[in-house]
Amino acid sequence: MLSKHRFLFEELVKRDFDRKYKGSFFGAAWSVLNPLLTLLIMRVVFGHFFGSAIPHFTTYLFCGTVVFNFFAESSSEGLMALISNAPIFTKVNVPKYLFLLSKNMQTLINFAITLSVFFLFCAIDGIVFTWKFLALIYPIIMLLVFNLGVGFLLSALYVFFRDMQYLWAVMTQFLLYVSAVFYSIDTFSDRVRNAFLLNPIYLFIRYSRKVVIDSAIPSPGFHVLMAADTLAVLLLGIWVYRKYDTEFLYYI
């Protein structure tokens, strides 16, 4: 189905990427500047409190920031996927999921650019690159699929409940603080540390840090837990999307 609409998909990706930086002086350079500025602010604010207790704190912080920003950007863009493209699918019969896929492709491009800068910081911070870095492919793919699931769910809900835009902004801020982006959970009790495993975003961040900083690959159980969360969110998002697909036009 996607191959049938390949031209439209490619044009949507180009449009979304160009529109994001339209009128900006730095243009696509913000793909790099934004996470770097965020890293700088967090490093200054939280470095004094946590920097001395966490090895390779800059890499630790950057890793969490890169992963979380990918999720936050993808979900916020996915939220608007249907509403922002209403002038198209209300006049032309095209698969609505193309708009969500194009949004996710655009954020994936930004993530890839930022990831290259992250690896440069790793080298500067003295991180040793090993073959285990290839294991990062797993959490990246899982996060991409997870973002799609969240996008399906949010974009569908936003058609019916316009307050979702504000509720999700609050939820994203909440997730930032409970995903251990700028602090370590090692000093917490076992019960609290286990509670963090209920947060899928933390799983993606923890996996990435384990590979990059500790040069280790998480346990098979960790892989299964991440895959289960990802599959559950994807299936829920697709179910909601398909259930209300014929009703979207009445609420646009």
Confidence (pLDDT) at 52? 58
Q: Give pLDDT tens digits for 31-86.
A: 666 676 766 766 666 666 665 577 888 899 889 999 999 999 999 999 988 888 77
pLDDT at 17 > cutoff 70? no
Average pLDDT over residues 195-214: 96
Check residues 33 and 220 and name the one with the higher pLDDT. Answer: 220
Q: Give pLDDT tens digits for 133-169.
A: 999 999 999 999 999 999 999 999 998 888 888 999 9
Average pLDDT over residues 190-194: 92
pLDDT at 98 > cutoff 70? yes
Check residues 31 and 95 and name the one with the higher pLDDT. Answer: 95
- pLDDT over 70 percentage in the chain: 78
Q: What is the average pLDDT value for the chain, to the nearest integer?
A: 84
Window from 103-112, 153-162, 241-250 with minimum mean pLDDT: 241-250
Buried b (16+ CB within 10 A) or exposed e, 124-144: ebebeeeeeeebbebbbebbb
Contact (CB, 8 A) for 106 and 181 = no
Confidence (pLDDT) at 29? 64
Report residue 102's pLDDT band, with 50, 70 and 90 as the boundaries.
confident
Kindly give, in sequence order, each residue whose CB lies less than 8 Å from that of residue 101, ignoring residues fewer than 6 positions away. Answer: 2, 9, 148
